[in-house]
Amino acid sequence: MYSVFSTFDVPPEKSEEVIRIYQNRSRLVDQAEGFVDFLLLQNDRRPGELTVQLIFDSKEHYLNWARSEDFRRIHELEKKYPDQELASIIPKVSKFKVVAR
């Protein structure tokens, strides 16, 4: 398995708005080959710190998703979000091979 974390900070007063966006996400990634799970995590101590976790069967499945037209379409929509403060956020991305469960 392969897990990708995208961590970003939003102003604490906008965290609920961002959470709602992800609760109503397109779910295109759910249809990707090898997709296992999607989680949105909120830091207990810093509510403005959010992390998207994607889990795929393999690194290859993730890379296929990251190179797909659906991936590009989703990320282009994010850049066009009306709130420019949120649209300009660049996440810190970390990628991990799952080596034990």
How high is the mean pLDDT in each 10-residue block of the chain (101 residues)? 97 92 92 98 96 98 96 78 76 96 90
d(CA 59, CA 1): 7
Instruction: State the pLDDT at residue 80.
Output: 67
User: Could you state, in order of their start, the residue ranges of all structural domains in the chain?
Assistant: 2-97
- Measured over the CA atoms of residue 25, residue 69, residue 5 and residue 63, the dihedral's sign is positive
The dihedral region occupied by 71, where left means phi > 0, alpha psi between -120 and 50, and beta the remainder, is alpha
Instruction: State the pLDDT at residue 66.
Output: 96
Instruction: State the pLDDT at residue 86.
Output: 78
CATH number of the structural domain 2-97: 3.30.70.100
Instruction: State the pLDDT at residue 79.
Output: 65
pTM of the complete model: 0.88
> What is each CA distance from 35 to 66, 81, 88, in whole angstroms?
12, 26, 27
